[in-house]
Amino acid sequence: MKYLPSQIIYLMQNRRTRRNIRTLAEFLLVLGLFIVAYSVIFHFLMALEGRDYSMITGFYWTLTVMSTLGFGDITFVSDPGKIFSIIVLLSGIVFLLIMLPFAFIQFFYAPWLEAQSKSRAPRQLPEQIAGHVIITGYNPIAIALVRRLSQYGHDYVILVPEVAQALDLVDQGLQVLVGELDDPDTYVRARIDSAALVLAINDDMKNTSIAFIVRGIAQQVPIAANADSQNSVDILNLAGCNHVFQFMNMLGQALARRTLGRRTLANIIYRSGELAIAATPAMQTRLVGRTIGELGLRQQLGVNVVGLWNRGQFILPRVDSVIEASSVVVIAGSETHLANYDNYIGGISCAEAPVLILGGGRVGQATAAALREEGIDYRIVEKSSRVGEHMERVIVGSADDHDTLVKAGIREAPSVFITTHSDEMNIYLTIYCRQLRPDTRIICRSNLDRNISVLHAAGADMVMSHASMAANNIINLLSPGKVLILTEGLNIFRHRVHLNLAGKTLISSNIRRDTGCSVIAIRRRGETMINPDPAIELDADDEMIMIGTAESEHLFTSMYPEKA
């Protein structure tokens, strides 16, 4: 019943609904006139037969005949009366049994149901909300970001223009507000003045319009936007954006950093004071086939192996853990320690054979640009000759054609990047490339989270998506340095020591056993303790730097929540 006033308001405000109700009223008026006319004629014909009935009886007879109930207690004996009864019966079938139900459903019941549905779609946020993130649209970036925001305790609202989409998202348990993205009133109703951030994730022109509108009504709120084109970056900044990202380019660069053939194996992915964390592929190194205990990297070089990533499976290191060719070894230490590690491995100079990139779209071109800056040779396989004619080192042809792949160098390529925008195609190509080259490193793009495990099972060594990368960048805007994605599903993150952990030693806290996360370092009073001793006692003011899968991180933050 709490929705009844809003339903009535909607019915009265909607022009089409008002017209429908007026049509229904006109139909009921005509039907009422027929009933009155039939009742009058009933009395006239009964008088001709020498019988007299009350006015109520006339209406009673008319309604029983028109509704085809026909109790039979009052009947005509004359032929004119019987002919009249037939006319009343046939008109009743048409008006009461056919037209009335249709008119009622079409002109009242259906609009009423529509009003009920639309009254469930939120159109304004409560006045007390503050510190929330306003997301303009719903796509894979929004899906990943909402999950992250909920995990870290940030409020959010997704703006969508269509009521049907809003209701669908409400049914999924998401926070939604209905409104046109180019209407300033939408952002006023979204409490723009108290928002922590506005994120525009539409096309470049719409993002520019959103940024300009938001900046016109809220001077202080930060605005972040995605730019598809390099030319749009400056325009978005002029429109009022504080942060402009090119997530597709960032994905291509992140993929390129994970190739074999780089000059240094220790690819530093995180720095905090003296602490440096690096990811290093084991393939084609002296690490393959040996246990962590045999290598003794901590004793010899000062680096600590904090995890092994084997095609979608994160393994917390043990002394007897064997490093496989497909493993990505995550190590932590100072930059001096990582330099010692590079010297120990011997370094890998740029491979003579070119790296293979399947797909010449935005991600593929960004990957190629990053490799070119590193001085690594590459070949792009692109199906469209129109796209390929504007790029360097391109093999025009289908990536699922054996001869095209051989021509591009699949037999010798140290790494293969699969960067198409279709997850189905990426799975298909991953299986094919793994069959052709069991010993190469396959790095793949994913668009949807549900396909990550499938891509790993198909043979991908590493999987990354622009949606997760975008979500982590936005989280880091709200809480700088909060989380860093190593590969899809494996993250490095920071977390304050919870009160339930304060006073316990690292080993007695059972963090690794209970959550699957590993503590890499502890920051205490401005100093970073790398590879902390298991016997160290945790203080309430300490900040832990940890590594774990997305599921492990979620479990940890659920067990030991941190205020946003």
**Is there a domain that residue 478 lies in?**
no
**Is there a domain that residue 125 lies in?**
no
Encode 325-367 in three state secondary structure.
CCEEEEEEECHHHHHHHHHHHCCCCCCCCCEEEECCCHHHHHH
**Is there a domain that residue 284 lies in?**
yes
**456 shares a domain with 365:** yes
Q: Read out DSSP for 276-305?
A: EEEEEE-TTSTTTT-BHHHH-HHHHHS-EE
Query: Within a 10 A sphere around the Cβ of 188, how many other Cβ atoms?
Result: 14
For the chain, which residues score pLDDT lower than 50?
1-2, 263-264, 350, 564
What CATH number did the domain enclosing 499 receive? 3.30.70.1450
Q: Could you read off the pLDDT of 393-423 as tens digits, one per residue?
A: 889 999 989 999 999 999 999 899 999 999 9
**338 shares a domain with 372:** no
Domain boundary among 119, 152, 174: 119
CB 236 within 8 A of CB 204: yes
**77 shares a domain with 108:** yes
**540 shares a domain with 443:** no
Beta strands in 411-508 (DSSP E): 415-418, 441-445, 462-464, 483-487, 490-496
Residue 564's pLDDT is what? Answer: 46
Side chain identity at 208, as an amino acid letter? T
Strand 156-160's sheet: what is its strand order?
Answer: 176-178, 156-160, 133-136, 197-200, 223-226, 243-245
Residue 337's pLDDT is what? Answer: 87
- pTM higher than the cut 0.75: no
443 Cα distance to chain centroid: 22
Domain boundary among 63, 96, 119: 119
Residue 550's pLDDT is what? Answer: 80
CA separation for the pair 243, 226 (Å, rounded): 9
- Our count of domains for the chain comes to 5
Residue 563's pLDDT is what? Answer: 60
Phi, psi of 488 (to 5 degrees): -60, 115
CA separation for the pair 492, 270 (Å, rounded): 8
**Per-residue exposure over 227-247, b if at least 16 CB sit within 10 Å of its own CB, e if not:** beeeebbebbbebbbbbbbbb
Q: Read out DSSP for 44-78?
A: HHHHHTT----HHHHHHHHHHHHTT---SSS---S
What CATH number did the domain enclosing 241 receive? 3.40.50.720
Residue 118's pLDDT is what? Answer: 67
CA separation for the pair 278, 288 (Å, rounded): 18
What CATH number did the domain enclosing 106 receive? 1.10.287.70
**374 shares a domain with 335:** no
**301 shares a domain with 283:** yes
**Is there a domain that residue 258 lies in?**
no
Tell me if residue 404 falls in helix, strand or coil. helix
**99 shares a domain with 139:** no
Query: Within a 10 A sphere around the Cβ of 158, how many other Cβ atoms?
Result: 23
CA separation for the pair 201, 549 (Å, rounded): 26
**112 shares a domain with 83:** yes
For residue 555, give both structure tokens: 């479990």
For residue 492, give both structure tokens: 């490095």
**395 shares a domain with 327:** no
**Is there a domain that residue 170 lies in?**
yes
**84 shares a domain with 16:** yes
**Is there a domain that residue 484 lies in?**
no
**97 shares a domain with 34:** yes
Q: How many residues does the chain have?
A: 564
Domain boundary among 345, 378, 407: 345
**77 shares a domain with 161:** no
CA separation for the pair 331, 278 (Å, rounded): 5
**Is there a domain that residue 257 lies in?**
no
**Is there a domain that residue 483 lies in?**
no
CA separation for the pair 360, 392 (Å, rounded): 10
- Domain with 544 in it: 489-559
